[in-house]
Structure 1
Amino acid sequence: MQANLTQEHLRDLSGVDRATLQRIEAGTTDARLSWLLRIADALDTPLADLLRE
């Protein structure tokens, strides 16, 4: 999924801190469900769409 947002903008929209977003994107941390729900809401996309990638 590509939304063309900076990590800073996604941080502002989701409330998930930038370092956490970096670790999720890099695959170096297991994302908590609460983080994924906040990110999906910020992107206005179903959670299932995030999990497919």
Structure 2
Amino acid sequence: MPSEPLPEWVLARRRGIGDQVRNARVKKQLSQERLAEMAGLDRKTINRIEQGTRPTSIDRLILIAHALGTPLADLVRE
């Protein structure tokens, strides 16, 4: 049975979280590649999160927040 598509507000919120990650990364003057190295992820994963094109796990967001030295709440705050 196929799952229902996500509501637009969820997709918009995912893009908003991506914007928060990008803003925090740029503020720290980090490239996507460098942030990926620090978080133990790959650059494509960082790019996808920042673009909001694919769902991500809370674990990845925790890794990114830790690498940025910022509270997770700051990345997901509306």
TM-score of the two chains, using structure 1 as the length reference: 0.87
Matches within 5 A, 1:10-25: 10-25=35-50
Structure 2 match to 1:3: 28
Shift of residue 4, structure 1, vs aligned partner:
2.1
Q: What is the rounded CA distance, in whole Å, between the counterparts of 2:75 and 2:48 in structure 1?
A: 15
Q: CA RMSD in A?
A: 1.3
Q: Hey, what's the Cα distance between the residues in 1 that align with 2:52 and 2:29?
A: 19
**For 1:23 and 1:39, how far apart are their aligned partners in 2?**
13
In structure 2, list runs of 5 or more residues that go unmatched.
1-23
CA distance in 1, matches of 2:38, 2:31: 11
Runs of 4+ in 1 over 6 A off after TM superposition: none
TM-score, scaled relative to structure 2: 0.62
Task: State the distance in 1 between where 2:36 and 2:67 align.
Answer: 9
